[in-house]
Structure 1
Amino acid sequence: METFTPKPSSIRRSKLSSWFGWAALLVLLIWIIVDLYVPRKNSLRQFDPKEVAQLETAMWRSYYEKKPVLLFWQLAKGLRQQFHAPFWRSFKLGFQASKAAFDFKKGRSRADYQHTIPDLRSYYESIKELSTESFDVSKVADLELEWWIVHRQRERYSYTDLANALVQTSAALYNQPATSFTTYGRFRADAMHLCDDVRHHPGGATEADWQQINEKLLEAWRALHSVVQVDHQ
């Protein structure tokens, strides 16, 4: 039987292909390490209100239509848009935020909800590492949880209470007077109110409903963007 002997040129091509494969893997690993661990800071005040509003609308829709994988990808994209998270770090942040949200979802009392605080603090500590602005991580995490509770317990709190809770969270994050965020809080609470209402319609929310929700969120994010830009100058 004749034995097949690879030609030298075939061996060289195989080695070259293997070398390129290992080189690509090394480049990918370096990118991931740099992305995750090299310090990088941007201003939390720089974002596109229209893009953030559209993405938040899509995230709400994915959440209520029970599409967790899509929601996770959208959340990571939102973190890159709103907080300038690097690509791989956005998934780390997305995991931290998702874990806090789903732990909260399982809760039934304020004591249960408090168990999300460590995850929220880790999340906001990661946000602070990306930010040129400083803020009190514990305070912002506590206020974030508070508006989650206010929105969850709608039989106990009003949408005015929700708007006020949103105002306090933004004021703490941006270190600005709470009165500056009144319009933002009202519009964002209005968007949540509308979303809560239309989800319970026969057949659920329509495309027109989601468009209305997006318009409310756009007004909210435009108001926030205007405030953080003007007061920072």
Structure 2
Amino acid sequence: MHLKRLLVAAVIISALLAGYVAWPRHADLRAFDPAEMARLETAMWRDYYEERYGALFYHLYESTRTQFGFSPLKGLRIAISAAEAARTFQPTRSRQEADAALPPLIVYYGELSSAAPTAFDVEEAARLELDWWQARREAVDPRDYGLTIARVAELTYGRIPDSGIWQFGIVRAEAMAYRDARGAAITASDWGEIEAQLARAYWSLKASVSR
């Protein structure tokens, strides 16, 4: 009888846990805190360049849960697809090779779309994302690929061309260029400056998408 009660309790606990993990939340891509997004994105950049993919996955997952409100299960799927795209893209050396990162990016944007204010073209967003990733490698001016970043934001948030979103894209791109210029010699102080730049970018985005 005692064993039977334990088994029943275990089944109930498992069911409750499964329900918690999978239960839909009211996720919203506009709900982020700009300062916290800057902190998390800075951490993710460090993870990526130091090839710490486990840490990258963790910070991706943390951002989906704490900044956008996705369920644990949905957040897990988003983090897996984003980490897979980043890891696939990193060793590529041409646009043709980089296309291998497109399928997980399409999955990523497909998962994000449920929290977007309006429906958007998932494949177009994924292709634009991959386009600016590759543009960085081709020494394109950050102000140019920054506009592509802005276009991705306009798509996912359902906004018409907006000066605040343009500023978000350009400042974010300039933060990337700052990191790239320092390369292997980057310091903790440099990472602090990058976080400050990203905070400015995300405050600009927040102001635009909250209107």
Fold in common (TM above 0.5): yes
Q: Pairwise mapping of residues 22-37 of structure 1 onto structure 2 (< 5 A)?
A: 22-32=11-21, 34-35=22-23
Q: Pairwise mapping of residues 1-233 of structure 1 onto structure 2 (< 5 A)?
A: 12=2, 14-32=3-21, 34-35=22-23, 38=24, 40-154=25-139, 157-180=140-163, 181-201=165-185, 205-230=186-211
Return the alpha-carbon distance in structure 2 between the equivalents of residues 226 and 215 of structure 1: 17
1:88 Cα deviation from its structure 2 partner: 2.2
Asked if 2 retains the 8 angstrom alpha-carbon contact of 1:43 and 1:133, the reply is no
Going from structure 1 to structure 2, the CA distance change for 1:81 and 1:189 (only over 3 Å counts) comes to same
Aligned to 1:8: none
State the SS of the aligned residue for 1:106. coil
1:24 Cα deviation from its structure 2 partner: 1.8
The one-letter code matched in structure 2 to 1:21 is A
State the SS of the aligned residue for 2:105. helix
Task: Name structure 2 gaps, 5 residues minimum.
Answer: none
Q: Percent identity?
A: 30
Return the alpha-carbon distance in structure 2 between the equivalents of residues 130 and 229 of structure 1: 14
Q: C-alpha root-mean-square deviation of aligned residues, in Å? A: 2.0
1:80 Cα deviation from its structure 2 partner: 2.0
State the SS of the aligned residue for 1:200. helix
Asked if 2 retains the 8 angstrom alpha-carbon contact of 1:45 and 1:225, the reply is yes
Return the alpha-carbon distance in structure 1 between the equivalents of residues 100 and 190 of structure 2: 34
Going from structure 1 to structure 2, the CA distance change for 1:31 and 1:81 (only over 3 Å counts) comes to closer
Return the alpha-carbon distance in structure 2 between the equivalents of residues 62 and 43 of structure 1: 25
1:42 Cα deviation from its structure 2 partner: 3.4
Size of the aligned set, in residue pairs, is: 210
> Greater shift after overlay, 189-198 or 212-221?
189-198
State the SS of the aligned residue for 1:178. coil
State the SS of the aligned residue for 2:120. coil
The one-letter code matched in structure 2 to 1:42 is A
> Greater shift after overlay, 181-190 or 79-88?
79-88
Return the alpha-carbon distance in structure 2 between the equivalents of residues 16 and 80 of structure 1: 34
Return the alpha-carbon distance in structure 2 between the equivalents of residues 122 and 100 of structure 1: 10
The one-letter code matched in structure 2 to 1:172 is L
Task: Name structure 1 gaps, 5 residues minimum.
Answer: 1-10
Under a length normalisation based on structure 1, what TM-score does the superposition of the two structures give? 0.81
Asked if 2 retains the 8 angstrom alpha-carbon contact of 1:41 and 1:131, the reply is no
Return the alpha-carbon distance in structure 2 between the equivalents of residues 141 and 18 of structure 1: 46
The one-letter code matched in structure 1 to 2:53 is P
1:97 Cα deviation from its structure 2 partner: 1.1
